[in-house]
A = this chain, B = another copy of it.
């Protein structure tokens, strides 16, 4: 019996990996870069997406699939900026691919340049779940403290870039950009780091340019 359980589990994991790869390929073929945004609650994922949509207005299309335990508050905040589908997990601590795939089918215009999946606010559990993204990007806000990369290593180890959000508050909080970047790069050498403020716009341009370059790289690799 144990042998059979292990086999089933392997099948499920294997199937999940295959589905993620299929989702990734299908989006790339449509010209879409998929970004999975992860962070603690309140680190500013929604505010960053609002600022990103504003910066790209008239230049790049984007859509957001936003996950929360409850409420559609984030979807309401994003709706004036781009197409958005709210996913509520009913209490679950992370998103999984089947829910993302179902939400994706709800988009009226799915072939956008950038598709963001805004994960549930949780710096632990979403690290263990691949959603068919091309990039996983972790946000760390200056108000959370610069010790978070060392304290939550898996989330940083599985991310391709780090955004340091709320730089407008740097004058009022004990946070060192250098320490946070150094500690994160002990986990992932050469990790790209983008300090920015969605509130005053500082750092939004380099962040957008990074995503544009990543999209170009992805499209160049599509067979």
Which of A's residues lie within 8 Å of B, judged by CB? Answer: 40-42, 68-71, 73, 91, 93, 120-125, 141, 143-145, 147-148, 150-154, 166, 168-169, 172-173
Question: How distant is A161 from chain B, measured CB to nearest CB, in Å?
Answer: 19
Q: Which of B124, B144, B168 contacts A42 (CB 8 A)?
A: B144
Q: How far is the CA of A152 from the CA of B40 in the complex (A)?
A: 12
Q: How far is the CA of A141 from the CA of B145 in the complex (A)?
A: 12
A91 touches B154 (CB 8 A): yes
Summarize A's interface: helix, strand, loop or mixed.
Answer: loop
A122-B122, A123-B122, A143-B141 are contacts. A69–B169 as well, Cβ < 8 Å? no
Q: How far is the CA of A46 from the CA of B44 in the complex (A)?
A: 22
| A-B contacts, 17 listed (Cβ < 8 Å) | A40-B40, A41-B123, A41-B151, A41-B152, A42-B141, A42-B148, A69-B152, A69-B153, A70-B152, A71-B147, A71-B150, A91-B154, A120-B124, A121-B151, A125-B125, A143-B143, A143-B166
Provide the residues of chain B in CB contact with A150, threshold 8 Å: 70-71, 73
Provide the residues of chain B in CB contact with A153, threshold 8 Å: 69-70
A169 touches B143 (CB 8 A): yes
Q: How far is the CA of A147 from the CA of B45 in the complex (A)?
A: 14
Provide the residues of chain B in CB contact with A71, threshold 8 Å: 147, 150-151
Question: How distant is A110 from chain B, measured CB to nearest CB, in Å?
Answer: 26
**Most-contacted residue by chain B among A69, A70, A141, A166 (CB, 10 A):** A69
B40 touches A151 (CB 8 A): no
B69 touches A143 (CB 8 A): no
A93-B93, A124-B120, A141-B143 are contacts. A73–B151 as well, Cβ < 8 Å? yes
